[in-house]
Amino acid sequence: MKSNIKKPKDRLVLALDVDTLEDAKELVYELKNYVGTFKIGLQLFTSVGPEIIKIIHGEGANIFFDGKFHDIPNTVAKACANLVKHGVTFFDIHVTGGSKMMMTTAKLARETAKRYEQPEPTILGVTLISSFGQRTLTEELGIYANIDDYATKLAMLAKDCGLDGVMVSANDLPNIRKKCGDDFVIMCPAVRPTWSMVNDQIRILTPTDAIKAGGDYLIVGRPITQAKDRVSAAKMIIDEIECAIEEKEEIL
């Protein structure tokens, strides 16, 4: 999937966190030339269903189905196989669902892609959601490991189980990139340019920090979708990504 990263905009994933098909279509039509992938989450999908997938496909853009599946292996595998039939580019499952869930899902998804002559999807593992902090991990879930070490452990498990990459906070990027290698796909949620509000995310970084730390794809939502001029906001983030890539290459 990294071979599909040809331009800085290809790294930008726009979160379509809206409630109506009309709002989603407006964002897709307006920003299709400035965004590499559109993210469909539970908020939008439970409101409008698979119709939005057809619309995005019609505009020639990539699709990330952010369902964060976590259930028994058979249920998750069959649900994800249905996504493959729709031709999604990326989808994600929780690493904490365990090795059997991940391996079963990866196997069936790839078999389904071949059977239905669909592109093989990039399967990502969710380590810890970006609203989690150390207090949530320790006091609420009873996991006493350091949050960064725990996320790295989960990423390594995802790789061992045949997943293509992970969704991780940019704070965990350097160690995961080192442990999992350059070919392991890393998508970063909760990316916020310096000029935007933080909102409800805790573990965030700027586009520059995320790229320099080794991120492949950056998910941005409200800094673009709630901007007065959405195209200009997207362009500013693309420019920041491009500058970060150039600076990183100069260092290397």
3-state SS of the chain: helix, strand, coil percent to 5? 50, 15, 35
Query: Beta strands of 168-224 (E only): which ranges?
Result: 185-188, 217-220
- Annotation says 85 is catalytic: no
Decide the pairing of beta strands 185-188 and 90-94.
Answer: unpaired
Residue 38, beta-bridge partner list? 14, 63
Choose, from 68, 100, 153, 248, the residue flagged as catalytic: 68
What per-residue string of b and e applies to 14-37 under the rule 16 or more CB within 10 Å gives b? bbbbbeeeebbbebbeebbebbbb
Q: Which has the closest alpha carbon to 9: 231, 190, 182?
A: 231
Q: Which has the closest alpha carbon to 2: 239, 229, 248, 216?
A: 216
Tokens of 252: 């290397």
CB neighbours of 228 closer than 8 A, spacing ≥ 6?
A: none
Q: Which has the closest alpha carbon to 134: 124, 126, 144, 125?
A: 144
Q: Measuring CA to CA, how many Å separate 98 from each of 70, 94, 128?
A: 9, 8, 14
Give the active site residues: 68
